[in-house]
């Protein structure tokens, strides 16, 4: 195979990676497994239930995964309307009724967040948003449903409620895997090296 052919093949792989399509995790029709994981189009998400504090500012995550500690009582709930957070005397919603519920979605690779769809979302509802564990301003987000998340990138995203009248579930989220250009360049270099070795063998 000529150097040009190897380069073309490598370029095709790189372009293919760059054109990764969006993946929608629909928690109303797709079920988490026993490890609270779900895989769509090669991307795996893991759901965690936790808590956070809203004072003093800025809001800060106290515990991402309550299943690993006795300091908080929260677990992931999944039903026909999506994901929520439940606990002792606490309903299966992301709410601020008995403490500040936090639902975290951790992805197997870096993704661009596109949009999130809530169920039981009303005019009085709002949420706090964290990406990779850090609060993303503004606090107390409200507005359209689906809610756009364009411009945000990371490996985890968390949705929290800290008010008595906040109560909703996470129905779905759409993300797009971030291409790995460095890996593509390494592949291109590797294929080029193979081509050079092949030419030397032919000459000998």
Query: DSSP letters of 101-168?
Result: EEEEEEEEEEEEEEEEEEES--TT--BEEEETTEE-SSSSB---SSEEEEEEEEEEEEEE--STT-EE
How many other C-beta atoms lie within 10 A of the C-beta of residue 146? 15
Tell me what pLDDT residue 14 has.
44
Same structural domain, 174 and 192: no
Q: According to the model, what pLDDT value does residue 187 have?
A: 56
Q: Give pLDDT, residue 180.
A: 80
Quote the pLDDT of residue 169.
Answer: 99
Closest CA to 153 of 108, 114, 105, 104: 114
Domain carrying residue 195 = 1-20+180-204
Look at residue 57 in the predicted model and tell me its pLDDT. Answer: 86
pLDDT at 15: 45
| pLDDT number for residue 193 | 55
8 vs 104: CA distance, rounded Å: 41
Ranges under pLDDT 50 in the chain: 3-18, 188, 197
160-198 per-position pLDDT tens digit: 999 999 999 999 999 999 998 755 556 545 655 555 545
Contact 111, 117 (CB under 8 A): no
Same domain, 141 and 45: yes
Give the helix, strand, coil percentages of the chain, each rounded to 5. Answer: 20, 45, 35
Main-chain phi, psi angles of 89, to 5 degrees: 65, 10
Pair 203, 143 in one domain: no
Cα angle: 78, vertex 142, 120; to 5 degrees: 35
Q: Are 163 and 98 in contact (CB under 8 A)?
A: no
DSSP classification of residue 93: S
pLDDT score, position 181:
77
Residues 112 and 202 in one domain: no
Euclidean distance between CA atoms 81 and 167, whole angstroms: 13
Tally the domains of the chain: 2
Are 111 and 82 contained in the same domain? yes
92 phi/psi in degrees, rounded to 5 = -85, 40
Does one domain contain both 46 and 15?
A: no
Tell me what pLDDT residue 196 has. Answer: 52
154 with 68, same domain: the answer is yes
143: its two tokens: 């507005």
């Amino acid at each position: 195979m000529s150097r040009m052919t190897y380069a073309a093949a490598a370029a095709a792989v790189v372009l293919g990676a760059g054109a990764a399509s969006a993946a929608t995790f629909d928690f109303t029709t797709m079920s988490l497994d026993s490890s609270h994981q779900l895989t769509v189009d090669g991307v795996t998400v893991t759901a965690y239930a936790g808590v956070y504090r809203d004072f003093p500012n800025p809001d800060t995550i106290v515990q991402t995964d309550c299943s690993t500690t006795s300091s908080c009582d929260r677990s992931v709930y999944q039903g026909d309307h999506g994901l929520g957070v439940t606990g002792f005397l606490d309903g299966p919603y992301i709410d601020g009724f008995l403490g500040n519920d936090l639902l975290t979605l951790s992805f197997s690779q870096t993704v661009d967040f596109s949009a999130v769809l809530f169920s039981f979302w009303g005019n009085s509802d709002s949420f706090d948003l964290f990406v990779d564990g850090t609060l993303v301003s503004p606090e107390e987000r409200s507005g359209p449903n689906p809610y756009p998340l364009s411009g945000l990138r990371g490996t985890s995203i968390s949705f929290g409620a800290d008010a008595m009248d906040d109560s909703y579930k996470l129905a779905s989220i759409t993300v797009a895997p971030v291409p790995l250009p460095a890996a593509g360049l390494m592949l291109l270099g590797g294929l080029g090296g193979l081509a050079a070795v092949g030419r030397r063998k032919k000459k000998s």
